[in-house]
Structures are given as structure tokens and as C-alpha cells.
Structure 1
């Protein structure tokens, strides 16, 4: 089991949680439920891996965010139709 990067004492549990993300254009924030996350039993930290953060940021950049509701499930967000196949601005 992985140790917490914040407190370096607690063990991490895989959980699904709610996160709030600002759209790339800065126009508003969205609530993303059931997001794969980690939770520390010791310090109570709740966070997402770098990979999940990148997936969310890329997807928000690649979809028509006007079609995005104020709240969405992570799986629904990740299955939304993309305007581009990938983030060509990610070098």
C-alpha cells in the first residue's frame, strides 16, 4: 500500500470523490463527481494522482465546454465527444 505524500505516515486508500474544476477559459467551475482519488487515513488528505489531473485538464480543453453541465460524473466527462483527438498544445 502506498504511503501518503503529504504526511508521509498514513496509508492511502483508493476512493471516488467530488472535485471542483475551473474550465480552461476561466468562465466557470464544474463539479465532477465519482472522480478517482486517494485518501489518507492519517492526515485526511484527499487528492487526485497526477495522471487523473492531466486526464481531466486535457478533456476539459478538448470538449465543447458549453455543453458541460454544472455537475457531471467523471466517467461522463471522460466519454464526452472531443473536438480534437488530443491536446496538440501539450509538449
Structure 2
């Protein structure tokens, strides 16, 4: 699924008025700190002006919640974003998030 394209969102780093959504690989440490995984094709905010690439706070929370809620022992070292987010959850929500 390609979600690449321009969006009307200000860059959080340089305040440039237009950013793009591109798909990139991100690397995430598992909650227990035993290893990291690569999540490919992750929607990423990209700024042409400062060249910064980052995920929104909402997406970071979604990825971290998913890591808490799935059976991480069955997780390979590389997975695409759509497959990662569709993995079956052991719990309905992250009960360790008190925010």
C-alpha cells in the first residue's frame, strides 16, 4: 500500500509548511530490550527543506502499543508495516499506558 504524496502539514523540525508522506524502514527496539526489528514500508513524514524523516507521535504510539500487545516471540527481525499492524493481539489494549 503506497501512501506517498504531499500533505499540508508543517514540519515539526524546521516549520516548513509542506511535508510529504513516504514509506520507509524504521528500526524499533522490543519492549524487553532483547533485540530490534525492522518495520518496512512505514508511513513516514518527510520534509524536503530540512530532509528530516520522522513518524508522527500518533504513529509512534500505535507501533509501541502494537509491540506490547502481540506475541513478540513469533516476530521476525523484518516485517512490513501493514503485516505488523495486522498481527493478532493478545490483549485488546495497552493496560500499561497511563497517559
Normalised to the residue count of structure 1, the TM-score between the two structures is: 0.95
SS at match of 1:54: helix
Aligned residue among 34, 41, 48 for 1:41: 48
Q: Once superposed, what is the RMSD of the aligned Cα atoms? A: 1.0
Q: Are 1:32 and 2:64 an aligned pair?
A: no
Aligned residue among 73, 76, 94 for 1:69: 76
CA offsets per residue over residues 16-44 of structure 1, 9 Å max, x none? Answer: 11100000000000000011110000010
Higher RCO (CA-CA < 8 Å; seq separation 6+) = 1
TM-aligned CA deviation for residue 10 of structure 1: 5.5
SS at match of 1:24: coil
SS at match of 2:68: helix
- Flag as ranges the 4+ runs of structure 1 deviating above 2 A: none
Normalised to the residue count of structure 2, the TM-score between the two structures is: 0.87
Q: What is the aligned residue count?
A: 91
Aligned residue among 33, 56, 79 for 2:86: 79
Structure 1 unaligned spans of 5+: none
